[in-house]
Amino acid sequence: MRTVSIGDTHGLAVAELVSQIAGEYDKIIFMGDYVDSYFVSNSEVSQNLLDIIDLKKRYPSRMVLLWGNHDIQYLLGAKNFGCSGYRPEMWEALHGLFSSNEDLFQFSFGIANYLWTHAGINQYWYDNRFKPVTEKSDNPGSLPEQLNEAFRRRDKAIFDVGYKRGGFFEAGGPFWCDIAELIRDPIRGYHQIVGHNRVREIRTLTVYGNEISFIDQLESLNIIDLSSFFYKKIDL
């Protein structure tokens, strides 16, 4: 299966580029954080999010839109809540946009033992915060299914913020996991593709025998082109 993963866009225009390759790949996965920026205008943020949503509607089986922590503050948060670059004047419009299209987004995606979440999954968080919840389920399913169901239930654990990001937990959940938390103790048995932690260029590390690919580089680039995305062929 041929996949393309798109790092955090934060209002940057990528839909036209993605549309050029939409028919060539089996899955195109956006890593979340479509909004909030220090330099993109409000109108550009809105329009570029609408363009991504339009891509999902045009290619529903190929496009995967993950939630990011910046996105859920508009879906779920109060008007005075804010991640970096938060724009309170856009809360009402973005809340409406995300709410009316919530069914087009998801929390996690997986193929074989490859796992996509916005920030990644730490083993300690999984064992101590998430697994106890899934063990109570009558139909646990795969890990991506468990995560998506947890988001639909709004389980508190998935919103955990760890010490590294100013929170109160040993490790952050998949919206907030810091790169240091992920490298130190990634969930075993999965190759992970993550955004959230900005890098100057895409890099893949091998930890405990599994790969972790950090792809949140778009805001670090002077020019965004097709080489700015992460390409991975997965044998099934």
Per-residue pLDDT of the chain (236 residues; tens, 9 = 90+): 999 999 999 999 999 999 999 999 999 999 999 999 988 999 999 999 999 999 999 999 999 999 999 999 999 976 556 688 888 899 999 999 999 999 999 999 999 999 999 999 999 999 999 998 877 666 668 999 999 999 999 999 999 999 999 889 999 999 999 999 999 999 999 999 999 999 999 999 999 999 999 999 999 999 999 999 999 999 98
Q: Please, are residues 67 and 28 in contact by the beta-carbon 8 Å criterion? A: no
Closest CA to 185 of 164, 168, 166: 164
Rounded Cα–Cα distance for residues 131 and 110 (Å): 18
Please name every residue paired with 114 in a beta bridge, in sequence order, or none if there are none: 111, 191
Please name every residue paired with 213 in a beta bridge, in sequence order, or none if there are none: 193, 204
Q: What is the pLDDT of residue 115?
A: 98
70 is written with which tokens?
């910046």
Q: Is the pTM of this model over 0.85?
A: yes
Q: Give CATH superfamily name and number for 2-233.
A: Metallo-dependent phosphatases (3.60.21.10)
**Which residues, at least 6 apart from 96, have a Cβ–Cβ distance to it below 8 Å?**
none
Task: Domain ranges for the chain, please list them.
Answer: 2-233
List the helix and strand counts (H, then E) for the chain: 8, 10
